[in-house]
Amino acid sequence: MSTQQAHPGRLATAAVRALSPYVPGKPISELEREYGIGDVIKLASNENPYGPSPAALAAMHAALAEVWLYPDGGAHEFKRALARHLGVPENTLTLGNGSNELLLLLAEAFLREQDAAVCSQYGFAIYQIVIRATGARCIEASALDAHTGMPYGHDLAAMAAAITPDTRLVFIANPNNPTGTWVDSTALRAFIAAVPAHALVVLDEAYLEYAALSGVGDGLGWREEFPQLVLVRTFSKAFGLAGARVGYAISHPEVADALNRIRPAFNVSNIAQAGAAAALSDLRHVRESARLVVAERERLASALRALAVPFAPSAANFLMVDVGPRAPQIYEQLLRGGVIVRPLGGYGLPRHLRISVGLPEQNDRLVRVLGELLRSA
């Protein structure tokens, strides 16, 4: 038997073999199997605890009747509704199986091995994965200092300085995951205006609906001014459709055309298309659930202050907390107490946990269990 036959994984590209896979938040079922416990709450993946609109659920249920048919590959009805909602032409839109797929498509369409892409230290982990999977060079700009007003947030000056002549993509999350921090609109607009024409700026606005309630602006109004701007958004967060997997990008028509050339033909199911379209018809539900989550975020922040637990400012639906050097042990003890949060050691933040905002009773339980652990330590 040849070496290649014995080790078929070696046939993968060197860039792919060198990757560390993305590790999502632990599922409830997995924790129940591992520890033999019930009554588990998950505050790890930034889902909307209030769920999707009833209209979205009804539309998805109705779509099951045609689940034996392939979905509309062009998603014409949903695209029309989305374009109307955004006030943009349909030819500026690209749909994805969640916004993660759009990040992957951007890397595949615009990066070659001789190219580079810029992201921020403590930025969303998927950026580095999709960049490195192409064989391109990933340039990680230093984040802001822990003692600034936006600890661990994007340092736009450092990111601007990191752009090289071979840079083709620049990734910015606003607000950023996992820190929750954000960038001022005036500074962000000036940054985009200064990026050379040979690079696209990918502005990830996954937490847009929460950020708007915190006074953070979005980039939609800059679309025509900056042809190299690509906005990436999702129905997974405030719209409550994380399990359906629907994301979208808004870009110059030529960029959208490039993305749609490599987009899988049936990447968004008919069930997901129906649910997302119906969700757009019930924005009242989205806005109200976002309002409730932001109010709970502030209540959770007050409870953490009472426990003397530091946390970064957040315009999203989560808080990044500093629980000290025992963070891995505290994470494990929270699991044993039936509370799933997100450890951030993989982000280079070994003292920190990311806590998604849940329902009031879930947040109260988190505070109670965490308080007991801190006091016992």
- CATH code of the domain containing 165: 3.40.640.10
> How many angstroms separate the CA atoms of 36 and 23, rounded?
22
> How many angstroms separate the CA atoms of 354 and 150, rounded?
16
Q: Of 251, 282, 313, which residue constitutes the final position of a domain?
A: 282
Q: Average pLDDT, stretch 41-55? A: 97
CB contact at 8 A, 53 and 286: yes
User: Do 236 and 153 fall into the same domain?
Assistant: yes
User: Do 190 and 299 fall into the same domain?
Assistant: no
Length reported for the chain: 377
pLDDT per residue as tens digits for the range 176-191:
999 999 999 999 999 9
- Percentage of residues of the chain with pLDDT beyond 70: 98
Strand partners, 319: 355
> How many angstroms separate the CA atoms of 110 and 200, rounded?
9
- Within 8 A by CB and 6+ apart from 99, the residues are 204, 206, 232, 233, 234, 236, 247, 248, 249
Which residue range is the domain that position 365 belongs to? 24-46+284-376
- At 6 the pLDDT is 76
pTM value?
Answer: 0.94
Q: Is residue 4 part of a domain?
A: no
Q: Is residue 7 part of a domain?
A: no
- Whether 166 has a pLDDT exceeding 60, the answer reads yes
Q: Average pLDDT, stretch 50-65? A: 97
- Within 8 A by CB and 6+ apart from 197, the residues are 228
pLDDT per residue as tens digits for the range 338-363:
999 999 999 999 999 999 999 999 99
Q: Of 282, 303, 328, which residue constitutes the final position of a domain?
A: 282
Q: Given the structure tokens 């006074």, which residue do they identify? A: 215
How far are the Cα atoms of 36, 301, 338, 369 from residue 33, in angstroms, in the given order? Answer: 5, 31, 12, 21
The DSSP 8-state label assigned to residue 137 in this structure reads: E
> How many angstroms separate the CA atoms of 271 and 240, rounded?
14
